[in-house]
Amino acid sequence: MRKKRIGVLTGGGDCPGLNAVIRGVVKASISTYQMEVIGIIDAYQGLVDKNVRPLDWGDVSGILTQGGTILGTSNIANPFKWPHKDAKGDLTFSDVSDDVVDYVDKLKLDVLVCIGGDGTMAIAHQLSKKGVRIIGVPKTIDNDIWGTDITFGFNSAMTSAAEAIDKIHSTAQSHHRVMVVEVMGRYAGWLTLESGIAAGGDVILIPEIPYNLDVICDYVVRRSREASRFSIVVVSEGAHPAGGEMVVSKVVKESTDPVRLGGIGHKLANDIETGTGLETRVTVLGHLVRGGTPTPFDRVLSTRFGVKAAELCYTGTSGVMVAVRGSEIIAVPLSDIGGKMRLVDPDHYLVDAARNVGTCMGV
């Protein structure tokens, strides 16, 4: 009997822990289950361009602590909506998924491990319905994938954001300023909420709780008159005023998620300065929180995810995503994940904790 052969790809935005998952998949596949592993380059694009490489023990040694992904990634490579220019130079899309299925068959892959966020999981589920055997691994700094208590990459990004906000404190305190810090997270407020609490943010604004500008202005004015004389406002890129819209920086038509949020930090800083007369500055953390070495927490979680994915590949399970429930790593059907997002409940215990230590949530 031939050895089982599995493929592995990393899709969507990069984050710390991707290499740790790849390492877990490859080492468990080789040492425990005697399977071969093929790496797909640049997410689903590698399946369209036929760009792959074998992954052996030596290829993944020493990558546990490295950020990014040795396989490369893409957040626009969608075989069901493949972008290309027509004869006139206009952007058009076509469905090349049948070619991808044929190439997976040609590679003789028994299972394809797809590591990524909700966009990657949605594409994986579509491919599974066309007969490709899929195991998903949930990755995102946004922590918004339904079905798992936490995604790998989140803890590392939260740590980076909290450390950056820590550094803002000294300059805010020295100059008696209002400092606005904009944090990634798209439509979910987890990253802003937890980094804001960890760094002692005075105001925390998330998409799930639309804010009232007057409440924020009253709060920072009151602080400016007290002994503290400064305020740290931590705002999610998806935050918006009650009755208002999220701020969109641009639209990338060829992407699986074309809307790019960004700019709320500058808008909010201008609104606060205009409404209070207090000197206000803004810092946009941006992709800073995606980079760097994964935290020990994420290294452990990523390793557990990778090992579980290899186990499921070996046992013949497919059409599922590995997930954390409590302390256990389980498998949840990909069909249960599509179209859902794990958002912050306005009554979540972390929101209550923030309010109980005097944090203004904007309402």
What residues make up the domain containing 131? 5-152+292-336
Q: Summarize the confidence of residues 292-305 as an average pLDDT.
A: 97
Check whether residue 215 and residue 300 sit in a common domain. Answer: no
Question: Which pLDDT tens digit goes with each residue over 143-181?
Answer: 999 999 999 999 999 999 999 999 999 998 888 899 999
Choose between 252 and 325: higher pLDDT.
Answer: 325
Check whether residue 127 and residue 205 sit in a common domain. Answer: no
Instruction: Say how far apart CA 70 and CA 22 lie, in whole Å.
Output: 9
Check whether residue 206 and residue 350 sit in a common domain. Answer: yes
Check whether residue 88 and residue 237 sit in a common domain. Answer: no
Among residues 14, 110, 118, 142, the one annotated as catalytic is 142
On average, the pLDDT of the chain sits at 94
Q: Name residues whose C-beta falls within 8 Å of residue 208's C-beta, 6 or more positions apart in sequence.
A: 188, 189, 343, 344, 345, 346
Instruction: Say how far apart CA 139 and CA 353 lie, in whole Å.
Output: 26
The reply to whether 142 belongs to the active site is yes
Is the residue at 362 inside a domain? Answer: no
Check whether residue 224 and residue 300 sit in a common domain. Answer: no
Q: What is the DSSP code (8-state) at residue 289?
A: G
**CB neighbours of residue 242 within 10 Å:** 12
Cβ(144)–Cβ(187) below 8 Å: yes
Question: Which pLDDT tens digit goes with each residue over 46-62?
Answer: 999 999 999 999 999 99
pLDDT band at 87, cuts 50/70/90? confident
Check whether residue 223 and residue 351 sit in a common domain. Answer: yes
Q: Indicate whether 116 pLDDT > 80.
A: yes
pLDDT band at 256, cuts 50/70/90? low
pLDDT band at 3, cuts 50/70/90? confident
Q: Name residues whose C-beta falls within 8 Å of residue 288's C-beta, 6 or more positions apart in sequence.
A: 160, 164
Could you tell me which residues are beta bridge partners of residue 214?
none
Collapse the DSSP code of 330 into the 3-class scheme (helix H, G, I; strand E, B; otherwise coil) and give the result.
strand
Check whether residue 50 and residue 146 sit in a common domain. Answer: yes
Cβ(196)–Cβ(165) below 8 Å: yes
* Number of domains present in the structure of the chain: 2
Question: Which pLDDT tens digit goes with each residue over 235-248?
Answer: 999 999 999 999 99
Question: Which pLDDT tens digit goes with each residue over 12-32?
Answer: 989 999 999 999 999 999 999
What is the pLDDT, as a whole number, of residue 227? 75
Largest CA distance in the chain: 77
In 3D, which of 199, 173, 169 has the Cα closest to residue 289?
Answer: 199
Alpha-carbon dihedral angle through residues 285, 291, 295, 300, given to the nearest 10 degrees: 130
Check whether residue 9 and residue 148 sit in a common domain. Answer: yes
Task: Tell me the DSSP string of 144-170.
Answer: -BTT-S--BTHHHHHHHHHHHHHHHHH
Alpha-carbon dihedral angle through residues 133, 139, 144, 145, given to the nearest 10 degrees: 20
For residue 265 the two structure tokens come to 């930090």
Check whether residue 180 and residue 209 sit in a common domain. Answer: yes
Q: Indicate whether 333 pLDDT > 90.
A: yes
Question: In the chain, what percentage of residues exceed pLDDT 70?
Answer: 99
What is the pLDDT, as a whole number, of residue 179? 97
Is the residue at 361 inside a domain? Answer: no
Check whether residue 230 and residue 278 sit in a common domain. Answer: yes
Q: Summarize the confidence of residues 325-344 as an average pLDDT.
A: 92
